Structure 1
Amino acid sequence: MAMEGYRGFLALLVLALFFGFLSVICTLVWVLHYREGLGWDGRGAEFNWHPVLLVTGFVFIQGIAIIVYRLPWTWKCSKFLMKSIHAGLNSVAAILAIIALVSAFDYHNTLSIPNMYSLHSWIGLIVVILYILQLVLGLFIFLFPWAPPSLRAIFLPIHVYSGLLLFGSVMIAVLTGMTEKLFFVLPNGLYSLLPPEGVFVNTLSLLVVVFGALIFWIVTRPQWKRPQEPNLTLLQPNGGTAGGVAGSMAIHSDNMDKSDAELNSEAAARKRNFALDETGQRSTM
């Protein structure tokens, strides 16, 4: 199917990729040029992995995972493949976030700096925990063929909403973390004098904001949704049908979960029933 407003989508996608990739590059420039570089010694070089991995994983990779269903070139791919790609990208983001947390705690413990006292640390830890919970529930409910279609239909809007909420919370955590770091490394009011590092990190923060805004815009445009699979409807208790994405996704996932053996056995059973009906009709004639 042709995407409505394809050129607009393509332009925004290119812009999002540009700003996201630029955010990762600028974070590397920040820690390599203005800070102590990268290392794993329990000191500043180890802590620098914290912003690099979070911007790379929790911002850039998570943003791509959110809009991967919107890419029109993937609409002919199976839903299971797209769910696997979505889960894989989010898994990579979660692993990078965990390593980023380890680097921060290790740095604090090495230099006897208190842990978990700032708003940034509170938001960051809560987001990581909820993100991992969201990932695990998503795997067991949507990717693995264990959950019934009714549960998938109920959980889908919650999954979508919580994913966007967590992505927005990541933006808040990253911005507060960058500002907090500048206050630490630019003491005695130096930050207020707009030093080169302060200007650079403020610009980096704006790049992150623009990337997040583009991702939110792309994922909230109804005309850029992945088309529903044809001839898939979900009957409601009142006799109507659910025209939303949840119903179609639930039935499609249920059909995808059936093995070839189950489908063949169902077809054979229908043939037997038809033969019996034919035999019964002939005997009564």
Structure 2
Amino acid sequence: MENYKLFLFTLSSAAVVGILAIIFVLRWVLHFQPGLGWNGGLAEFNWHPVLNVCGFIILQGLAIIVYRLPWSWKRSKLTMKIIHASVNLVAFIFAVVATVAVFDFHHVAKIPDMYSLHSWVGLAALILYCLQLVLGVGLYLMPFTPISWRAAFMPVHVYSGLLIFTSVIAVALMGITEKLIFSLTNPKYKDSPPEAIFVNILGLFLVVFGALILWIATRQSWKRPSEQTLHSLNSNGGDEDGTKVSQLSEGTEAEAFETIRQRNNKCDDQVN
């Protein structure tokens, strides 16, 4: 992998920021808000930000970059597809439960549903995410799907994944702002009380996490090599567990890697 140290730094930074975002959202609902519960009240509503941050943002981000982890390159492509789909499925379940929580809260509190831009874009992102998951499983995990279909749909699949991910972060920022405006009355949000500052920092963490994930996901030099490339490298002296792949960054082995990669990349990467 080219710039392996930079990759590790970026990945570590994303992990730290993601963990901080989870800590902050939990601290927000447990300290500044009335905690978590499932009784139709504010405690039930609080599952909405917690599950969306943990699942719809953090887990979805992990699913996006799972192919980029060099120590996973020793695993078969099918194994990584299953992991990618499984993490996305868990994230989707989190998002569905979060959505049910807010609708249930609205029903008990007699609050209208689907009146804000936050709710419109959020529900659209959830529906698109469901469609993305179903089509992804159907096209890339079903053995009877024609390779030509997989190759044709791959640019749409990649673009849609990144679009949904960025949209979910935007929706989260809208929801955070909306929640603070509604809940902070004395002092008001505009007066910057401690809760407002604390939650604004949470929003910044989500933006930084999204930026780091997008950077990792869009670097061509950090892309998983083709299966033929990995096989050729292992056949030419790589360790059995494939760990040598992530260490090829200079010398003759790196040159051989790049030559093989350029020859095979066009066909195989279309079905990555």
Superposition TM-score, scaled by structure 2 size: 0.85
User: Quick one: distance in 2 between partners of 1:189 and 1:149?
Assistant: 59
Provide, for residues 140-176 of structure 1, a one-character-per-residue CA deviation record: whole Å limited to 9, x for no partner: 0001112100000001111000000000100110000
User: Quick one: distance in 2 between partners of 1:76 and 1:18?
Assistant: 25
- Choose which of 166, 169, 192 in structure 2 pairs with 1:168: 166
Equivalent AA in structure 2 for residue 144 of structure 1? M
Identify the residue that residue 137 of structure 1 maps to in structure 2. 135
Identify the residue that residue 106 of structure 1 maps to in structure 2. 104
- 1:70-85 alignment runs, 5 A limit: 70-85=68-83
User: Quick one: distance in 2 between partners of 1:158 and 1:191?
Assistant: 40
Superposition TM-score, scaled by structure 1 size: 0.81
Task: Give yes or no for contact 2:2–2:221 (8 Å, CA) kept in 1.
Answer: yes
Structure 1 residues 125 and 243 mapped into 2: Cα distance closer, same or farther (>3 Å)? farther
Identify the residue that residue 264 of structure 1 maps to in structure 2. none
Identity of aligned residues (%): 56
1:182 aligns with 2:180: yes
Q: Secondary structure at the match of 1:63?
A: helix
Task: Give yes or no for contact 1:24–1:52 (8 Å, CA) kept in 2.
Answer: yes
- Choose which of 119, 122, 137 in structure 1 pairs with 2:120: 122
Structure 1 residues 243 and 96 mapped into 2: Cα distance closer, same or farther (>3 Å)? farther
- Choose which of 212, 221, 224 in structure 1 pairs with 2:222: 224
Task: Give yes or no for contact 1:39–1:45 (8 Å, CA) kept in 2.
Answer: yes
Identify the residue that residue 53 of structure 1 maps to in structure 2. 51
Identify the residue that residue 247 of structure 1 maps to in structure 2. 267
User: Quick one: distance in 1 between partners of 2:207 and 2:176?
Assistant: 13
Q: Secondary structure at the match of 1:116?
A: coil
- Choose which of 89, 94, 97 in structure 2 pairs with 1:96: 94
Structure 1 gaps of 5+ residues are: 233-241, 254-285
Structure 2 gaps of 5+ residues are: 231-261
Identify the residue that residue 16 of structure 2 maps to in structure 1. 18
Task: Give yes or no for contact 1:182–1:198 (8 Å, CA) kept in 2.
Answer: yes
Q: Secondary structure at the match of 1:230?
A: helix
Structure 1 residues 243 and 101 mapped into 2: Cα distance closer, same or farther (>3 Å)? farther
Cα shift at 1:230: 2.0
- Give the greater-gyration-radius structure (CA): 1
Q: Secondary structure at the match of 1:226?
A: coil
User: Quick one: distance in 2 between partners of 1:177 and 1:27?
Assistant: 13
Identify the residue that residue 25 of structure 2 maps to in structure 1. 27
Task: Give yes or no for contact 1:120–1:177 (8 Å, CA) kept in 2.
Answer: yes
Task: Give yes or no for contact 2:216–2:222 (8 Å, CA) kept in 1.
Answer: yes
Equivalent AA in structure 1 for residue 147 of structure 2? P
Provide, for residues 177-205 of structure 1, a one-character-per-residue CA deviation record: whole Å limited to 9, x for no partner: 00000011013671111000000000000
User: Quick one: distance in 2 between partners of 1:125 and 1:246?
Assistant: 36
User: Quick one: distance in 2 between partners of 1:194 and 1:91?
Assistant: 38
Cα shift at 1:245: 5.4
Equivalent AA in structure 2 for residue 165 of structure 1? L
Alignment coverage as a number of residue pairs: 241
CA RMSD of aligned residues (A): 1.8
User: Quick one: distance in 2 between partners of 1:140 and 1:12?
Assistant: 32
Equivalent AA in structure 2 for residue 213 of structure 1? A
Cα shift at 1:66: 0.3
Identify the residue that residue 203 of structure 1 maps to in structure 2. 201
User: Quick one: distance in 2 between partners of 1:186 and 1:223?
Assistant: 46
Task: Give yes or no for contact 1:36–1:44 (8 Å, CA) kept in 2.
Answer: yes
User: Quick one: distance in 2 between partners of 1:187 and 1:119?
Assistant: 22
User: Quick one: distance in 1 between partners of 2:189 and 2:47?
Assistant: 22
Task: Give yes or no for contact 2:60–2:165 (8 Å, CA) kept in 1.
Answer: yes
